[in-house]
Amino acid sequence: MSESAARRLELRELADEQVTLTALEAIEASQAHGLSQSQLIDVLNDDARCVLGAWWQACESSTCESLDGESPLAELIGFVVLARGPFEAEIEAITVHAARRGQGVGARLLAAAIAQAHDWQRDSGLERLLLEVRASNAAAAALYAKAGFTRDGVRKGYYPLADGGREDAWLMSLPLV
């Protein structure tokens, strides 16, 4: 990338032809508790789920466009998995590559997930957006609270720990109506 090149964050829905399983696995490998390959395959092929990817796109000009409309210099750095139920939507995962944290990517993915949930609400009357977060993940809990999520409860011992112990999950929700 030249000195005049810039980078732009672009969010778009992931599909098998847009991203390889290898790229998703690389992100998950940077996590302490990532999704398995079979879980990633299931997520990408489930019509009740929306998977949005965050791409750093290298730009050779101020417009960040290439002639074919696709940047050959794009890097997948995070994603969000959103599931649609009959009455509620749920954020099943927000994952940002460990090396790319602290750059606002998680906040952008969360905002995109909330926007998608609001679109679904207008279409079918969903009432709220749910998520769960590890009790030890203070940064994520603060991000969710800043976006308007409130704590609704706790699942005791929900997440497994590497040492064989268990960690609580905080249940959070955001009204969509």
CATH number, domain containing residue 128: 3.40.630.30
With a CB cutoff of 8 Å and minimum separation 6, the contacts of 100 are: 56, 77, 78
| CA–CA separation, 53 and 20 (whole Å) | 12
Let me know if residue 119 belongs to a domain.
yes
**CB atoms inside a 10 Å sphere around CB 172:** 22
- Span 73-98, average pLDDT: 90
| CA–CA separation, 145 and 127 (whole Å) | 18
Let me know if residue 144 belongs to a domain.
yes
Let me know if residue 1 belongs to a domain.
no
Active-site choice (144, 158, 159, 167): 144
Q: Range with the lowest mean pLDDT among 43-47, 57-61, 68-72?
A: 68-72
User: How many separate domains does the chain show?
Assistant: 1
| CA–CA separation, 47 and 15 (whole Å) | 11
- State the pLDDT confidence band at 64, using cuts at 50, 70 and 90: low
- State the pLDDT confidence band at 3, using cuts at 50, 70 and 90: very low
- Span 28-54, average pLDDT: 81
Q: Which residue has the higher pLDDT, 66 or 105?
A: 105
- Which of these, 87, 16, 76, lies nearest to 46 by C-alpha position? 16
The pLDDT of residue 71 is above 60: no
- Span 23-37, average pLDDT: 73
- State the pLDDT confidence band at 10, using cuts at 50, 70 and 90: confident
Query: Whole-prediction pTM value?
Result: 0.82
The pLDDT of residue 57 is above 80: no
The mean of the pLDDT values for the chain is: 84
74 near 35, Cβ under 8 Å?
A: no
Domain containing residue 42: 6-175
Active-site choice (132, 158, 159, 167): 132
pLDDT digits (tens, 9 = 90+) for 96-134: 888 888 889 999 999 999 999 999 999 999 999 999 999
Residue 25: predicted pLDDT: 76
Look up 144 and say whether it is catalytic: yes
Look up 158 and say whether it is catalytic: no
